[in-house]
Amino acid sequence: MMSQSRISRWRLHRRKAFLALFVVGIPMGIGLLLLAWVEFDPTRLELPSSVVFLDSRGEPIRALTDDKGERHLWVAREGIPERLIEAFLAAEDKRFFNHPGFDPLAIARAALANWEQERIVSGASTLTQQLVRSIYPRPRTYRGKLTEVLRAIKAEMLLAKEDILEGYLNHVPLGNGMVGVGIAARSYFGKAPEDLTLAECATLAAIPKAPGKLSPYRQDPSALRERRNWVLRRMAALELITSPEAEQAAQTPIRVRPRRYPNTAPHYVDLLVERGHANRESGSPWTAKDSERVVRTLLDAPLQRHVEETLRSHRERLADLGASQASVLVIRNRDMAVLALAGSIEYSARALGYNNGVVALRSPGSALKPFLYGLAFDSGFSPATLLADTERRYRSPRGEYDPRNFDRRAYGPTTVRSALGNSLNLAAVRTIQFLGYPAFHQKLTALGLLNDPSKGPDYYGLGLAIGNPEVSLEQLVTAYAAVARGGVLRPLRYLAEDSASTGNPVMTQEAAFLVADILSDPNARSLTFGSIACLDFPYRVGWKTGTSTRYRDGWIVGFTPDYTLGAWVGNFDGGPMKETGGAHGAGPIFSDILRHLYAESAPTPFTPPATLEQREVCGHSGMRPTRHCPSKRLEWFRRDQVECPLCTFHGEEGIHHELEAPFAGWLFDREARGVNSSFALASGTEDRPAPSPVEILYPLDGTRFILNHGADTVRLEAGTENLVERVTWFVDGVELGAVGPPYRLDWELAPGAHRIAAIGPGGIGDEIRVQVE
């Protein structure tokens, strides 16, 4: 047996022999072997960055993974601070600038260690070796190690040290599927590498030794802190930093951002990917600062999180109302930036939550009415124009149309301000009938609110006024923003690179202001909405709700001059809610988000264009007030708009609310129901200068009646523009009777084809045909 000392001497000889082999023998042969034997292709250094979506402040909101499930974000050498390089050199390869790709001293030491432990231990790899290993994975054998060393030397022959550094720092695995300092700095610290502190640089440099064990996301970061502080001490020992600097950094707790890939604004990013912003082929706009594959969005991540939290906080409340889903879109009017977008309450399979409710086409209910009145204002109406919110049936291309108000009441004489504020359907249908539905169809097309070009005006008819075309929340919010922006429609901008288009005027500045003024006037909606506490804001906010048939959709879209936001509630499977409309369903969500936006400051006020002025009007009729009018208020008019006539409601003391002929039927019905009111038909019909045309309101021309059992009667109904004393009814040329306002007469149905005529004074009348079977 050999003695201990002889063994150690023998080992020492072996060590020297190894050293000689490495230091002298190998380098001589390497040159030849290299070129013939090992492959190193510098182009394989390139690592196309993951497509990374950043919010407007540079916070990553999603990084798409590559086929290995890894994420990376290439940072050019200029974007890597010296401090970070020093930290990595101190941690991994302090002789980097002095070795030829491998470190003979380190290898010798490692080789001895391996020999002694009779297995291959890791370590002793230079940055260059680590880099070539990440490009050319090798088996953990001596042969593999040798190949790696040769490759490293070849890499050093072909590349400058700086290029190797750049490659290394972009290929180094930093845990949690992140490769390279670019993505790691962004994800762990929310910063570009150049903004990292000394402690953060050292933290990143600490990870590669054991990316799993040293993950910053670990509950207990003590192992990482220990390793980081070791890196700091080593940096100080190498005189890269001073000892006090190292001390101070070592005191810093390890704080990383919560892990949230890919959960920030998932619908927002999905939408961008869907629309082709994640692949170069579509000509999408990458920016060049950190990388060519960063998509800078305009999302406001903190606001987005607030919106998502708000939606979750309403989940239970909505469930009670029979709504399982909700969507929200918030934009900034100035540049049309989409600041927050939540397509569902939760991005999950729950209640079909992967669907994006912001782009789904749904029925908007009354949410289109502001655009109808915008068109009316540009057609000579003012907010004081008197409309008849009275029932009548209309002939439409798709049959008889019999609109009703939400509460099935008819409000009679109503100003445009009140009709829009209270969302009255009857007045809206009368308005669209007056303006012509093709004109409104054209307006909605210009506003981007009609999605099916094959459906022309006749397809929708008068129903356009109360929202029968399907629209998305995205489209509605865009169109409302045009109102907030003085009538100029601009497309939404999701990306910083999206050019700001100058936009298309869709209504005059005056019309836009008037619509905004009405939608932000709490007094204008007192008839039907009463007071909805959550929507009583201490500043002016324009908002409009919408509710689709059978409560399938509840909408609210609103704006200040600064922001436009919309919320939808309902069910993705199309199921109805429990009698919940936009105001009570979506209103509270809208309110929470709006109040958050203005937590610290009040909105910019709406500014009237100089072409408008305020005039005093009667509080009831909207006409020029007389001394008899019980209340007065101010109303906006175009300066060039002719003065209203004096109030006819309160013409003379003692007689109140005188109404014109179109209200005759409404007034009659009210009185028949025993509603006590101060309305009366205008007197003095004999004074009317011209005979008034008569129109048969019911039945409609071409109606087919089916007889039930014997005697069925139908109430014939006519209307006149001006009051006339009598209208005479004829059936098949035989006089049925003469009646005063509201010109109604019962007619007993008899089988066969019939001609029905109503004739006013002067013989001007109307005739229709019906069929009774």
Residues that bind Zn ion (CB under 5 A): 618, 621, 629, 647, 649-650
Tell me the closest approach of the beta carbon of residue 649 to Zn ion, in angstroms: 4
179 has which bridge partners? 72, 173
DSSP class of 652: B
Q: Which residue's beta carbon is nearest to the bound Zn ion? A: 618
Tell me the closest approach of the beta carbon of residue 418 to Zn ion, in angstroms: 14
Please identify, using beta-carbon distances, which residue of 543 and 649 lies nearer to Zn ion.
Answer: 649
d(CA 176, CA 39): 30
Q: Exposed, middle or buried, 116 (CB in 10 Å: 0-12/13-18/19+)?
A: exposed
d(CA 467, CA 369): 8
769 has which bridge partners? 755
Tell me the closest approach of the beta carbon of residue 645 to Zn ion, in angstroms: 11
Q: Which amino acid is at 689?
A: P
Tell me the closest approach of the beta carbon of residue 274 to Zn ion, in angstroms: 56
Please identify, using beta-carbon distances, which residue of 585 and 619 lies nearer to Zn ion.
Answer: 619
Q: Which of 311, 433, 336 is nearest to 379 (CA)?
A: 433
CA distances from 52 to 384, 521, 542, 559 (A): 53, 44, 36, 31
d(CA 8, CA 740): 129
Please identify, using beta-carbon distances, which residue of 600 and 653 lies nearer to Zn ion.
Answer: 653
d(CA 394, CA 626): 36
Tell me the closest approach of the beta carbon of residue 388 to Zn ion, in angstroms: 17
Please identify, using beta-carbon distances, which residue of 365 and 622 lies nearer to Zn ion.
Answer: 622
Tell me the closest approach of the beta carbon of residue 657 to Zn ion, in angstroms: 8
Q: Which of 156, 157, 172, 158 is nearest to 47 (CA)?
A: 172
Please identify, using beta-carbon distances, which residue of 180 and 625 lies nearer to Zn ion.
Answer: 625
Q: Which amino acid is at 11?
A: R
Which residue's entry shows tokens 């972009």? Answer: 170
Torsion of CA 10, 15, 17, 21, to 10 degrees: 160
Tell me the closest approach of the beta carbon of residue 681 to Zn ion, in angstroms: 16
Please identify, using beta-carbon distances, which residue of 88 and 663 lies nearer to Zn ion.
Answer: 663
Burial 342-366 (b: 16+ CB within 10 A, else e): bbbbbbeeebebbbbbbbbebbbbb
717 has which bridge partners? 698, 744
CA distances from 565 to 330, 481, 560 (A): 4, 9, 9
Q: Which of 363, 358, 345, 416 is nearest to 387 (CA)?
A: 416
The helix (H) or strand (E) run that includes residue 440 is: helix 437-446
SS3 604: coil
Please identify, using beta-carbon distances, which residue of 684 and 710 lies nearer to Zn ion.
Answer: 684
Tell me the closest approach of the beta carbon of residue 702 to Zn ion, in angstroms: 41
Tell me the closest approach of the beta carbon of residue 666 to Zn ion, in angstroms: 18
Tell me the closest approach of the beta carbon of residue 658 to Zn ion, in angstroms: 10
d(CA 216, CA 206): 10
Please identify, using beta-carbon distances, which residue of 45 and 629 lies nearer to Zn ion.
Answer: 629
d(CA 402, CA 105): 94
d(CA 355, CA 255): 35
Tell me the closest approach of the beta carbon of residue 373 to Zn ion, in angstroms: 22
Q: Which amino acid is at 486?
A: G
Please identify, using beta-carbon distances, which residue of 67 and 653 lies nearer to Zn ion.
Answer: 653
Tell me the closest approach of the beta carbon of residue 655 to Zn ion, in angstroms: 11
Phi, then psi, of 53 in degrees rounded to 5: -95, 125
For residue 691, the tally of other CB atoms under 10 A from its CB is 14
DSSP class of 624: B
Phi, then psi, of 84 in degrees rounded to 5: -70, -40
Please identify, using beta-carbon distances, which residue of 621 and 728 lies nearer to Zn ion.
Answer: 621
Tell me the closest approach of the beta carbon of residue 721 to Zn ion, in angstroms: 22
Please identify, using beta-carbon distances, which residue of 307 and 647 lies nearer to Zn ion.
Answer: 647
Q: Which amino acid is at 256?
A: V
Please identify, using beta-carbon distances, which residue of 327 and 621 lies nearer to Zn ion.
Answer: 621
Q: Which two tokens stand for residue 470?
A: 């399907």
Tell me the closest approach of the beta carbon of residue 303 to Zn ion, in angstroms: 47
- What DSSP string runs through 214-253? T-TTSS--HHHHHHHHHHHHHHHHTTSS-HHHHHHHHHS-
d(CA 124, CA 108): 9
Please identify, using beta-carbon distances, which residue of 303 and 629 lies nearer to Zn ion.
Answer: 629
In sign, the C-alpha dihedral spanning 534, 536, 538, 541 is: positive
The helix (H) or strand (E) run that includes residue 105 is: helix 104-117
Peptide bond preceding 742 in cis form (omega within 30 of 0): yes
Please identify, using beta-carbon distances, which residue of 383 and 588 lies nearer to Zn ion.
Answer: 383
Please identify, using beta-carbon distances, which residue of 573 and 616 lies nearer to Zn ion.
Answer: 616
d(CA 172, CA 87): 13
Q: Which of 514, 536, 532 is nearest to 594 (CA)?
A: 536
Tell me the closest approach of the beta carbon of residue 623 to Zn ion, in angstroms: 6
Tell me the closest approach of the beta carbon of residue 646 to Zn ion, in angstroms: 8
Tell me the closest approach of the beta carbon of residue 679 to Zn ion, in angstroms: 12
Instruction: Please answer whether residues 618 and 386 qualify as being in contact, where contact means their C-beta atoms are separated by less than 8 angstroms.
Output: no
Tell me the closest approach of the beta carbon of residue 349 to Zn ion, in angstroms: 60
Please identify, using beta-carbon distances, which residue of 203 and 621 lies nearer to Zn ion.
Answer: 621
Pairing label, strands 680-681, 727-731: unpaired
Please identify, using beta-carbon distances, which residue of 240 and 623 lies nearer to Zn ion.
Answer: 623
CA distances from 627 to 222, 543, 618, 759 (A): 84, 35, 10, 39
Please identify, using beta-carbon distances, which residue of 231 and 629 lies nearer to Zn ion.
Answer: 629
